[in-house]
Structure 1
Amino acid sequence: MSAENSDGNISVPLRNLLNSAHCVRDRVRDGESNESDGAFNLANFWDTLNQAVMAVSQEATKLSLAFSKPPLPSQQDTEKLAESTMKSILTLSMVYYWLPKSQGVSLRRQVRDATVDVLDGVSQLVEVILSSPLQSLSQEQLTTTGTVWSACDQFAQLPKDNKAAVLMVLSAQMGVVKDALEEIEQALSEVQDPFNDILDDDQDGDEPRGNQDTYWSDKDRLVIGPCHGLIKASAACLKKMLSSVKANGDVTTPLNLSQLDDLADITKEISPGVDDLALCLYPPMDYSGVESNVTKLAALLKKVLEIIRSSHVCGESELNWVQFLDGAVDHNLQKAKDLIQQDS
C-alpha cells in the first residue's frame, strides 16, 4: 500500500505539495532577485537564510518520519504536514530573493544553486513517499531524506561574500586545469611506439611501421612542447589570479564587485579551452585541429590577462607576472604555429 493508493485521498495534499515545490524551484532557478533601495545587511541575510534552511530540513524530516511506517497519517495530518513543509520552502525562496545582484552575481549564483538543490531534494522526497510501499522505511526514502539534509548542510560551506564566491570559482577552475596538465604530462611520459620492441631487422628496408595512430611521431612531440607550455601558462595564470584576488579583491564598490564577476566569468572558459587543446594532442594528431585550438586558447588567455590588467586586483607587483605570462602566451602560440606549418 502506498500513499498514492491509500484511503482518504491523502495523496492529494502531497501531490499539491509536489507541484508547488516544482513551481517554487523553477522560479528560484530562473527568476531575478529583488533589488533593494535601502542598505542591504549581508550578515542579517545569512542569519535569516540559515534559519530558513534549518526549518526546511526539520520539516522534511517530520514528513519522512510520518510516512516511514504504518499507520498512515490521516488526511488532516497530511494536509498539516504538507502545509508546514510548503511554508518552509516558500520562506527559503523568499529569503533567497532578498539577496540582490548588487552583492555580486557570483555569490548570488552559488546561493541560488544551493537553494535549488534543497528544493529539488524536497521534491524527490515527496515523489518517493507517493510511490513507496509503507510496510517499512524504504532505502529510497532514507536516501532522499539524506539528500535533503546534505543539500541543507552545504549552506554552511557557501561563500559569504562575492570575493569568497569568486575565489571558489577560481579554485575549482585551477583544479580542473591542473588535472588536465598532469594528464598530458603523464601521457607524454608513458605513451611509446607500441612496436618499439620489434627488432629493426624485422622491418622491410626503410618502410615506416604501421599503426602510427597509436603513438606520437617526432614532429608530434615537437608540436606538443609549446602546446604544453600554453597549458602550463593557463595553470600559472589561474594560480596568480587566485593569489591576486585573495590579496587585493574588494567588495565595497559596485565597480569592484563587477570586476570580480568578470574575472569569474572569463575564468570559466579556460578549462574547456585547455580540455579541447589537450584532447586534440593525442595520436593521431590532427595539426589543423591543434592549430585551431592553440589559437583559441591563446586568444582567451590574452583576454583574461587584459581583464586582470584593467581590474582593481592588479597592482604593481601583479603587473609583472601579467606581462610575463602575456609574453609566454605569444611565444608558445608562435612556436606551435611554426612547428605545425614546418614541412607542410
Structure 2
Amino acid sequence: MSADNCSGNVSVPLRNVLNSIQCIRDRVRDGESNESDGAFNLSNFWDTLNQAVKAVSQEATKLSLAFSKPPLPSQQDGEKLSESTLKSVLTLSTVYYWLPKSQGVTLRRQVRDATVEVLEGVTQLVEVILSTPLQSLSQEQLTSTGSVWSACDQFAQLPRDNKAAVLVALLAQIGVVKDAIEEIEQALAEVQDPFSDVLDDDQDGDEPRGNQDTYWSEKDRRVIGPCQGLMKASAACLRKLTSAVKTNGDVSTPQNVAQLDDLADITCEISPGVDDLALCLYPPMDYSGVENNVSKLATLLKKVLEIIRSSHVCGESELTWVQFLDGAVSHNLQKARDLIQEDS
C-alpha cells in the first residue's frame, strides 16, 4: 500500500488506527459474548448500540472530509481524528459484546454481522485514505464513505429480539427455495427434446436422437415430478413455520428462546438441500445422485417437522399441517425411488 495521500507523520496514526480496527473487527467476527448473571435490559442495549453506531458514522464522515482536499491535516489533528475514530469503533464493539447469547443466538448473529460490516467499512475507508493521492475527493473515497453510512443505516432495520431475528432467517430461506422451484419449472417449460417430432425409425446413424445430454427423457421428467413435490413441501414447511413463529413465537423464557434458535439452525439447511436436489435434476440426469439428494432432503424435512412438533410454536392447528407435510414427504420420497428403480 502506498502512502501518497498521507505522507510523513500524518500517516502513522492512521496506520496504527487501521491495525487496531482490523484487530477489533476480527475479534468481533470470531469472539463470544460476555454472559452476565445479572438482568439484561434489551431496550437499553438497543438505545446504546444505536448511539454507538451513529458516533461511528459521524467519525467516519469527519475523517473522510479531513482528507478530501489539500492541505493535509496537521500531525496533531491527524492524531485527534485517529483517536476519536478508534474510540467510536471500540465503543461499538464493546456495546455489541453486551448482548448475551441467552437473548438468542440468531439475534446475536445478525447483530454481529451488522457490526462487522460497519467495522469492515471503516477499515476500507482508512485504507483508501492512506492509498489515494490527495488531489481531490476520489470516487473510491466517496464510495467507501457511503459504504460506512449504509452499513450504519442497516442497524435501524435489524430485528429487535430473537423471534424477529428467526423470522428474518426464515424469510431468507423462503426466497432461496422459491427461486430454485421457479428455475426448475422454467427449465422444464423451455427444454424440449429437439427430435421429439421425428420418428426414431426414420433416423440413421449410431446416435439417431442427437445429443441426449441436453434434454430430459420421458423417464427423467417423471422422476422430476416427485422431486418437485419435495421441493414444494420444503417451501410449504418454511411458510407454515414462519406463520407459526409469528403467531406463537415467544422469547419470555430461555427455553423458548433456545427452541427458536433450534428452528432457525435446522431450517437454514433446507435451501442448500433444495439447491443440491435441483442441480442434479438437469440433464444428463444421474439417477443415483438424484436418489441420494432426494433421500437427504426428505430426511432433513422429517427432522425439521419433528423439531417443530416438539417446540412451543406448534399448537393444535399447526399439528395438522405438520402431519400432512410429513405424509407428503414420505409419499414423494417413495414415488421418486420407485420411478428411479423402474426399468433399471
Q: Using structure 2 for the length normalisation, give the TM-score.
A: 0.97
Matched, 1:278 2:273: no
Give CA-to-partner distance per residue, 1:153-210, whole Å, 9 cap, x none.
0000000000000000000000000010111111111110123455767523997412
Q: Match for residue 256 of structure 2?
A: 256
Q: Aligned in 2, Cα 1:177/1:5: closer, same or farther, shift over 3 Å?
A: closer
**Contact 1:4/1:11 (8 A) holds in 2:** no
Q: Match for residue 14 of structure 2?
A: 14
Question: Is the partner of 2:236 in helix, strand or coil?
Answer: helix
Question: Is the partner of 2:247 in helix, strand or coil?
Answer: helix
Question: Is the partner of 1:10 in helix, strand or coil?
Answer: helix
Percentage of matched positions with identical amino acids: 85
C-alpha separation between the residues in 1 aligned to 2:5 and 2:228? Answer: 62
Q: Aligned in 2, Cα 1:72/1:234: closer, same or farther, shift over 3 Å?
A: same
C-alpha separation between the residues in 2 aligned to 1:61 and 1:314? Answer: 48
Matched, 1:101 2:91: no
Q: Aligned in 2, Cα 1:222/1:206: closer, same or farther, shift over 3 Å?
A: farther
Q: What's the offset of the Cα at 1:7?
A: 4.8
Q: Match for residue 190 of structure 1?
A: 190
Q: Aligned in 2, Cα 1:187/1:77: closer, same or farther, shift over 3 Å?
A: same
C-alpha separation between the residues in 2 aligned to 1:7 and 1:325? Answer: 66
**Contact 1:57/1:149 (8 A) holds in 2:** yes
Q: Match for residue 316 of structure 2?
A: 316
Q: Match for residue 41 of structure 2?
A: 41
1:280-299 mapped onto 2 (5 Å cutoff): 280-299=280-299
Q: Match for residue 72 of structure 1?
A: 72
Q: Match for residue 55 of structure 2?
A: 55
Question: Is the partner of 2:195 in helix, strand or coil?
Answer: coil
Q: Aligned in 2, Cα 1:276/1:177: closer, same or farther, shift over 3 Å?
A: same
C-alpha separation between the residues in 2 aligned to 1:208 and 1:246? Answer: 57
C-alpha separation between the residues in 1 aligned to 2:213 and 2:148? Answer: 49
Which residue type is aligned with residue 170 of structure 1? L
**Contact 1:191/1:215 (8 A) holds in 2:** yes
Range 170-179 or range 209-218, more displaced:
209-218
Range 3-12 or range 26-35, more displaced:
3-12
Range 262-271 or range 204-213, more displaced:
204-213
C-alpha separation between the residues in 2 aligned to 1:189 and 1:44? Answer: 54
Which residue type is aligned with residue 76 of structure 2? Q
Deviant stretches of 4+, over 6 Å: none
Which residue type is aligned with residue 102 of structure 1? S
Matched, 1:337 2:304: no
Which residue type is aligned with residue 122 of structure 2? V
Q: Match for residue 269 of structure 2?
A: 269
Q: Match for residue 235 of structure 1?
A: 235
Contiguous gaps of at least 5 residues in structure 1 = none
**Contact 1:49/1:92 (8 A) holds in 2:** yes
C-alpha separation between the residues in 2 aligned to 1:152 and 1:200? Answer: 64
**Contact 1:309/1:322 (8 A) holds in 2:** yes
Q: What's the offset of the Cα at 1:3?
A: 4.9
Q: Match for residue 91 of structure 1?
A: 91
**Contact 2:163/2:249 (8 A) holds in 1:** yes
C-alpha separation between the residues in 2 aligned to 1:148 and 1:29? Answer: 17
Q: Match for residue 126 of structure 2?
A: 126
Q: What's the offset of the Cα at 1:91?
A: 0.2
Q: Match for residue 179 of structure 1?
A: 179
What RMSD in Å do the two structures reach over aligned CA positions? 1.5
**Contact 2:5/2:132 (8 A) holds in 1:** no
Matched, 1:245 2:226: no
**Contact 1:194/1:214 (8 A) holds in 2:** no
Q: What's the offset of the Cα at 1:6?
A: 4.7
Which residue type is aligned with residue 31 of structure 2? G
Give CA-to-partner distance per residue, 1:290-331, whole Å, 9 cap, x none.
000000000000000000000000000000000000000000
Q: Using structure 1 for the length normalisation, give the TM-score.
A: 0.97
C-alpha separation between the residues in 2 aligned to 1:7 and 1:13? Answer: 11
Q: What's the offset of the Cα at 1:259?
A: 0.4
Question: Is the partner of 2:281 in helix, strand or coil?
Answer: coil
Question: Is the partner of 1:175 in helix, strand or coil?
Answer: helix
Which residue type is aligned with residue 323 of structure 1? Q
C-alpha separation between the residues in 2 aligned to 1:205 and 1:71? Answer: 79
Which residue type is aligned with residue 85 of structure 1? T
**Contact 2:200/2:209 (8 A) holds in 1:** no
C-alpha separation between the residues in 2 aligned to 1:205 and 1:122? Answer: 66
Q: What's the offset of the Cα at 1:9?
A: 1.5
Contiguous gaps of at least 5 residues in structure 2 = none
Q: Match for residue 223 of structure 1?
A: 223
Q: Aligned in 2, Cα 1:18/1:196: closer, same or farther, shift over 3 Å?
A: same
Which residue type is aligned with residue 186 of structure 1? Q
